[in-house]
Amino acid sequence: MGRLSPSDPRVIMLTPSSIRPLRVKSQPSFSPIVAPGLGTPSKVKARPLSRRYVSDGLWNDVKTGKWLLIPSSSFKLSLIAPILYLLHVGLAYAGIEAFQPGGQIPNVGAKCLLPSNEQDGGYAKTWWDVALLVHYIVFWTFVRQFMTLKVLAPLAFKLGVRGGKITRFTEQGYAVFYYGIYVTYGLYVMRSLPTWYYKTEYFFIDYPHKIISFRLKFYYLTQWAFWTQQTIILAAKVEKPRKDYKELVLHHIVTIWLILSSYIAHFTYFGVAIFFTMDTSDLFFSLAKCVNYVSDFWSIPFLVWFTISWTYLRHYLNLLILYNLPTHYDLIPVAARLKLDPFNDSYLDSYGYMKWLIFIPIALLQALNLFWYFLILRILVRAVWNWGEDVKDDRSEDEDEEEEELEELAGKKKE
C-alpha cells in the first residue's frame, strides 16, 4: 500500500481544521418555576435559571432563604419533627424515665405533628400550638415546591401549555390540589358542628368554645400554617407579582388577623364558616384558570361556574354572616361577656368590642372581594363575547413576556 500525498483529498478530510464536533443538545435541569423576588435577572439565561433550584447545602439554603425554592431542603427541614418524635419514643422504649409518658421531658416531635393539650374529651389552646404552626409552614413549603416543580410543570408541558403560562399553570394547579383537599376536610369538620349549614346563631350559643374536637383543631392550625406560608411566599415574591399585588397582600394580612383573633378568642366555629367560603371559591377559580391555560373553548363554562360560586360563597354567605354578627352577638351568655381578662382567657366585655374586632376584618375581606368581583364580571363578559379566544386575566402582566427559555427547558425535560 503506497504512501498518501499531503495534497491527497483523503488526507485533507482528516486534518483537524476539517473536523467538526458533534452538536449535542445540552440537558439542563428542569426548572420551570421562576421566583422573581429572589433575584431573577431581567433576561434569564439557561444557566442561572437552572441554578435557582440547585441546593447550595442545607445550611446555606436556610441562611439565604433558598429553602423556599428547593424541595429537597424544605423536605429535610420538615423531617426535624418526625425525627424528634421517633427519638423520644426510642428513648422511652429504652426505659429512660424522663422520656416516659408524663415524664419531665415532653415529646416535642409529637406536639409539632399533632394537636396537644387534650382536655375533657377535646383539645384546648396551648403554647405548643406555635410549634405545630412552624412545622406545617415548612411542610406546606415542601409540598408546594414539590408539586409545582416535579408534578405540575411536566404536566403543563404535556397538556400543551407553553412559555410563561407554565409558571401560572403550576401556581393554580397547586391551589387546586390544596383547596381540593381542604374543601373536603372543611365539609367534614363543619358537618360535625352545630353551625351546619350556616346556622349563624350557633357561632355564639354556648360560647366560649374552649374545648374543640381533634379534627377542628388540626384543621384550624394547618389552615393557619398554610395562610402564613402563602404570605411568606407572597412577601418573598416567589410567585411573580400580579397587578393586584397590594390587594393580595392586604387580603393575606386580614385573613391571618381573622384566624389569629378567632382562634385566641374561641370563635373557631365562626372561622370554619369563613374558611369554607374562601376555599371553595378559590378552588373553582384556580380550576377555571388551569382549564383556560389548556383550552380557550372549555374555559368559558368553568369561568361561568366559578362566577356563580363566587357570587354565592363570597358575597351572599359572607354578607349573611356580616348581617347576623351584630344581631346574634347577644346570644352569647351574659356570664361570658362581662369581663375582659385575656390573662385568664376571657376576651369579651359588656361593650361588645370583640363583635367589631371580628366584623371589621370580614368587612375588609368583603370590600376586597367586591373589587375582584368587578374584575371577574368584566372578564366573564369579554370571554362570552369572544368565545373560543384566549381569556386574559386582568390582574396578570403579559405572561408571554416571561422567560423564553422556559418552554425550551420543559421540552428538553420531556425528551
Burial 368-401 (b: 16+ CB within 10 A, else e): bbeebbeebeebbeebeeeeeeebebeeeeebee
pLDDT of residue 397: 52
Packed helices 296-310 and 268-294: angle between N→C axes, nearest 10 degrees: 160
37 burial level (CB within 10 Å; 0-12, 13-18, 19+): middle
pLDDT of residue 3: 55
Q: How far is Cα 64 from Cα 289, in angstroms, rounded to an integer? A: 32
Q: Is 382 helix (H, G, I), strand (E, B) or coil?
A: helix
The answer to whether 395 touches 244, Cβ cutoff 8 Å, is: yes
Dihedral of the CA atoms 234, 130, 116, 147 (nearest 10)?
20
Give the chain's count of helices (H) and strands (E). Answer: 16, 4
Q: How far is Cα 106 from Cα 103, in angstroms, rounded to an integer? A: 7
pLDDT of residue 7: 54
Q: Letter for the amino acid at 307?
A: T
Q: How far is Cα 372 from Cα 376, in angstroms, rounded to an integer? A: 6
Q: Which of 84, 85, 78 is nearest to 143 (CA)?
A: 78
pLDDT of residue 159: 92
Q: How far is Cα 298 from Cα 30, in angstroms, rounded to an integer? A: 29
The total of other beta-carbon atoms located within 10 Å of residue 81's CB is 23
pLDDT of residue 326: 86
How confident is the prediction along the chain (415 residues), in pLDDT tens digits per residue?
455 555 555 444 444 444 444 444 444 444 444 443 343 333 434 334 457 788 899 999 999 999 999 999 999 999 999 999 999 999 999 999 999 988 899 999 999 999 999 998 899 999 999 999 999 999 999 999 999 999 999 999 999 998 889 999 999 999 999 999 999 999 999 999 999 999 999 999 999 999 999 999 999 999 999 999 999 999 988 888 888 889 999 999 999 999 999 999 999 999 999 999 999 999 999 999 999 999 888 889 999 999 999 999 999 999 999 999 888 988 998 888 877 788 788 888 777 788 888 899 999 999 999 999 999 999 999 888 876 555 565 555 544 444 443 344 344 454 4
pLDDT of residue 121: 87
Q: What angle do CA 59, 61, 65 make, to 5 degrees?
A: 125
Q: How far is Cα 109 from Cα 107, in angstroms, rounded to an integer? A: 5
DSSP state letter for 212: B
* Residue-range domain boundaries for the chain: 117-414
Sign, CA torsion 77/82/85/89: negative
Tell whether pTM > 0.85: no
Residue with cell 431573577: 40
